[in-house]
Structure 1
Amino acid sequence: HYNLIIMHFLFIYLPRDGFFINRKTRCLFPPLGAMYLSAVLEKEGHKATIIDLRAEGEKALRKFVLDADIVGITVETTSLNNCRKIIELIRQIDRDVPILIGGPHCNIVKEKALKELNADYEIVGEGEVSIAKIAKMLEGKEEERNIAGLCYLKNGKTYSNPPAIVDNLDTLPFPAHHLVKKYNYGYIGGIKIFPGRFMSMITSRGCPFKCKFCSRSSLYFDKYRVRSPKNVLEEIKYLYEKGYKNIIFVDDNFLTDKKRVEEIMDGIIKEEIDMNFIIEGARVDSADYNLYRKMKEAGVKLITYGIESGNQEILDYYNKGITLEQIKYAINLADQMNFITIGNFILGAPIEDEKHIQNTIEFAKELPLDVASFFILEYIVGSELWNEAVKEGKIGVNEYIVESDASKGLGKLTRKRLEEMRRRANLQFYFRIKYAVHEILKFLRMKNIYLAKGISTVFACSRCVKKRRCLKK
Structure 2
Amino acid sequence: MQVLLAYKSNIRGAKDPYTSLLPIGLGYINAVLRKEGYPTQLANFSQTSWKEIESHLATLQPEVLGISQLTHNRFESLKLAELAKKINPATIVVFGGPHATHQFQEILARQTEVDVVVMGEGEDTFLDLMNTVSRKGTSSLGEVKGIAFRKDGVVVSTAPRPPIADLNSIPFPAGYFDGGIGVDIHRQLEFIVTSRGCPAVCVFCSSPLFWGRSLRLRSPRAVVDEIRMIRDRYGLIYFSIRDDTFTVDKGRVMEFCRLLQEEKVHILWNCQSRVNAVDEEMLLVMKRSGCECIQFGVESGSPRVLKALGKRITTEEVRRAAAAVRLAGIHLSIYLITGVADETDEDLKASIRLIESIRPHDGQVSPLAYYPGTALFAGGVRSGRIGRDIFLKDRREAFYVREDPFVASSTKTLLKTLNRVAEVNRFTAADYRAQKKQLGYCHTTNMMAGEMYEEKGDWVLAEREYREITENEPENPWGWLLLGGLYGRVEEWERGRRAFNRVLRLVPAHVPAYSALGELNMFAGNSSEAIRNFQRALSMNPFDKAAQDGLGACRT
Distance 1:387 1:311, change over 3 A: same
Give yes or no for the alignment of 1:424 onto 2:419: no
Give yes or no for the alignment of 1:85 onto 2:79: yes
Deviations along 1:371-394, one digit per CA (max 9) or x if unpaired, are: 121211112222222222222221
The residue number in structure 1 matching 2:131 is 136
Q: How far apart are the structure 2 equivalents of 1:351 and 1:270?
A: 52
The residue number in structure 2 matching 1:49 is 41
Q: How far apart are the structure 2 equivalents of 1:56 and 1:255?
A: 37
Q: Please, what is the CA RMSD of the aligned residues? A: 2.8
Deviations along 1:104-143, one digit per CA (max 9) or x if unpaired, are: 1232233433234430111113221122232234423462
Stretches of structure 2 that go unaligned for 5 or more consecutive residues are: 392-397, 433-446, 456-556
Looking at secondary structure, tell me which structure has more strand per residue.
1
Q: In the TM superposition, what are the counterparts of 1:336-351 in structure 2 within 5 Å?
A: 336-351=327-342
The equivalent position to 2:351 in structure 1, one of 346, 354, 360, is 360
The residue number in structure 1 matching 2:156 is 159
Q: In the TM superposition, what are the counterparts of 1:165-180 in structure 2 within 5 Å?
A: 165-176=163-174, 178-179=176-177
Q: How far apart are the structure 2 equivalents of 1:340 and 1:347?
A: 23
The equivalent position to 2:100 in structure 1, one of 96, 99, 106, is 106
Letter in 2 for 1:130: T
The residue number in structure 2 matching 1:278 is 270
The residue number in structure 2 matching 1:404 is 401
Q: How far apart are the structure 1 equivalents of 2:191 and 2:328?
A: 23
Offset at residue 360 of structure 1 (A): 0.8
Q: How far apart are the structure 2 equivalents of 1:158 and 1:251?
A: 33
Offset at residue 427 of structure 1 (A): 2.2
Q: How far apart are the structure 1 equivalents of 2:106 and 2:212?
A: 17
Give yes or no for the alignment of 1:446 onto 2:449: yes
CA contact (8 A) 1:203 1:249 kept: yes
CA contact (8 A) 1:10 1:64 kept: no
The residue number in structure 2 matching 1:125 is 120
Q: In the TM superposition, what are the counterparts of 1:20-419 in structure 2 within 5 Å?
A: 26-27=17-18, 30-66=22-58, 67=60, 68-118=62-112, 119-141=114-136, 143-164=140-161, 165-176=163-174, 178-179=176-177, 183-184=183-184, 198-242=189-233, 243-279=235-271, 281-400=272-391, 402-405=399-402, 414-419=403-408
Q: How far apart are the structure 2 equivalents of 1:47 and 1:447?
A: 48
Deviations along 1:77-122, one digit per CA (max 9) or x if unpaired, are: 2321222222233333333322110111232233433234430111
The residue number in structure 2 matching 1:460 is none
Distance 1:326 1:94, change over 3 A: same
CA contact (8 A) 1:338 1:446 kept: no
Give yes or no for the alignment of 1:436 onto 2:431: no
Q: How far apart are the structure 2 equivalents of 1:363 and 1:64?
A: 51
Letter in 2 for 1:105: H
Out of 255-264 and 216-225, give the one that drifted further.
216-225
Distance 1:368 1:312, change over 3 A: same
Distance 1:381 1:27, change over 3 A: closer
SS at match of 1:248: strand
CA contact (8 A) 1:111 1:122 kept: no
The two structures have a TM-score, normalised by structure 2, of 0.70
Distance 1:109 1:224, change over 3 A: farther
Q: How far apart are the structure 1 equivalents of 2:324 and 2:186?
A: 25
CA contact (8 A) 1:129 1:148 kept: no
The residue number in structure 2 matching 1:456 is none
Out of 198-207 and 148-157, give the one that drifted further.
148-157
Offset at residue 343 of structure 1 (A): 0.6
Distance 1:223 1:255, change over 3 A: same
SS at match of 2:407: helix
Offset at residue 362 of structure 1 (A): 2.7
Letter in 1 for 2:89: R
Offset at residue 56 of structure 1 (A): 4.4
Letter in 1 for 2:290: G
SS at match of 2:323: helix
Letter in 1 for 2:423: A
Q: How far apart are the structure 1 equivalents of 2:160 and 2:282?
A: 37
The two structures have a TM-score, normalised by structure 1, of 0.82
Distance 1:219 1:425, change over 3 A: same
CA contact (8 A) 2:362 2:422 kept: no
CA contact (8 A) 1:249 1:277 kept: yes
The residue number in structure 1 matching 2:518 is none
Offset at residue 178 of structure 1 (A): 4.4
Offset at residue 25 of structure 1 (A): 5.3
CA contact (8 A) 2:186 2:236 kept: no
Q: How far apart are the structure 1 equivalents of 2:177 and 2:407?
A: 42
Q: How far apart are the structure 1 equivalents of 2:292 and 2:47?
A: 25
Deviations along 1:392-411, one digit per CA (max 9) or x if unpaired, are: 22121223553122xxxxxx
Letter in 2 for 1:161: T
**Superposition misfits of 4+ residues, deviation over 6 angstroms:** none
Structure number with bigger Rg? 2
Q: How far apart are the structure 2 equivalents of 1:267 and 1:244?
A: 18
Q: How far apart are the structure 2 equivalents of 1:303 and 1:445?
A: 15
The residue number in structure 1 matching 2:508 is none
Q: How far apart are the structure 2 equivalents of 1:19 and 1:156?
A: 35
Q: How far apart are the structure 1 equivalents of 2:127 and 2:448?
A: 51
The residue number in structure 2 matching 1:467 is none
Identity %: 24
SS at match of 2:239: strand
Letter in 1 for 2:412: R
Distance 1:125 1:422, change over 3 A: closer
CA contact (8 A) 2:333 2:363 kept: yes
Letter in 2 for 1:160: S
Letter in 1 for 2:428: L
SS at match of 1:342: strand
SS at match of 1:209: coil
Stretches of structure 1 that go unaligned for 5 or more consecutive residues are: 1-6, 188-196, 406-413, 453-473
Q: How far apart are the structure 2 equivalents of 1:24 and 1:174?
A: 27
Deviations along 1:248-288, one digit per CA (max 9) or x if unpaired, are: 11111111111111111111111110111120x21011221
Q: How far apart are the structure 1 equivalents of 2:212 and 2:277?
A: 24
Offset at residue 208 of structure 1 (A): 1.0
Q: How far apart are the structure 1 equivalents of 2:143 and 2:379?
A: 36
